Amino acid sequence: MHTNTALAELWETVNECEACALATGRTNVVLGKGNPDADIMIIGEAPGEEEDKAGIPFVGRAGKLVDKALEYAGKSLDDVYICNTVKCRPPNNRNPFTYELYACRGYLNAQIWIVQPKILITLGKIATYEIIPVSPAVQKKSFINFLKQRPYTRHNRVILPEYHPSYIIRSPSKEEDWLNRMKEALNYEVGTSDR
């Protein structure tokens, strides 16, 4: 099945979803954007207010930072597919609860299966821990440990954790380092040892 067709069918399914309470507060389901045949998938945490209005991930302030990172790396939306762990906005942009992540996990897995990326760039703890399951004790440790130990490999895909852009917005002094790490991630070459 062609990728676009499969994603369109997935959107229809997600659009009808009422598996958790987030469905009652959404304006739009936010599935994904970019190239559905990309080798790189960027996974964020959850839609915010702007994303909920537009039905498109990363269109607000965090999205502008992702756009900046793409440009800095010499990439564009043609080179990536972007989505979130959950497809509906949590109230007041809070972090998704565990049961909400669980309710959407099948949709995220379906996106990965349909797009078949070689590289997953996970933005923030929530996205990273959805892709790299770790114990609650490990989750309490500093996220910098995950950045220092990248890349990871799981199911024959390279996983490159990174800070969520919302963290960079709150800590602008870290932007240059973040852009450089994003550039490295977006230009990561998958070698035979990664397969």
| pLDDT tens-digit readout, 9-63 | 999 999 999 999 999 999 999 999 999 999 999 999 999 999 999 999 999 999 9
Task: Give pLDDT, residue 182.
Answer: 97
Task: Give pLDDT, residue 154.
Answer: 87
Domain with residue 96: its CATH number is 3.40.470.10
Q: Which residue has the higher pLDDT, 38 or 155?
A: 38
* 194 assigned to some structural domain: no
Single pTM value for the model: 0.94
Q: Which residues of 38-62 are buried (b: 16+ CB within 10 A; e: fewer)?
A: bbbbbbbbbbbebbbebbbbbbbeb
* 19 assigned to some structural domain: yes
Contact 51, 60 (CB under 8 A): yes
Domain of 31 in residue numbering reads as 3-187
Q: Please tell me whether the peptide bond between 117 and the residue prior to it is cis, using omega within 30 degrees of 0.
A: no
DSSP one-letter code for 60? S
pLDDT bucket at 158, cuts 50 / 70 / 90: very high
Q: Residue 157 in 3-state DSSP?
A: strand
